[in-house]
Amino acid sequence: MYRKFIDKNAVSAVIGVIIMVAITVAMAAVAYAYFTGMIGEQSKAPPAISFTPSPTEKTITVATADIDTKWDDINISFTNDTSFAYLTLPKTGMISAGDKIDLVNDQILRGKVTVTFIHTPTNSLLGSYTIENV
């Protein structure tokens, strides 16, 4: 007869389960976005550089280049049928339109030479050009 009435105002079990499922789905969406690269550190895009090869002059000229692109960020490799070499030219500073790479005077490779330009920070191929009879 001495009953105490306890106030049991709580969320029902169904509502609690719905809230827990919603939290789990939200956490899964955030984890998916993080691991697929949608959030967090964004990768840098490679610079827009175009080259113009001149088979008659045995040169490769920079036609256009983004502002603030450095030669230090570009890996230039030369290959022919038997050899492989990296650029030995003292290319430093900013890349600008009109810069030339002279294959005859500056390199020791002869014959059919393939020149490959790679942007090292993004590991992106900027171009590959083949010039014959160097």
SS3 (DSSP) at 128: strand
Are 67 and 33 in contact, with CB atoms under 8 Å apart? no
pLDDT in tens, 36-59: 776 666 667 888 899 999 888 888
Percentage of the chain beyond pLDDT 70 is 81
Q: Domains (ranges, CATH) in the chain?
A: 49-131 (2.60.40)
On whether the pTM is more than 0.85, the answer is: no
Average pLDDT in the 80-107 region?
Answer: 77
pLDDT in tens, 13-31: 888 889 999 999 999 998 8
pLDDT at 25: 95
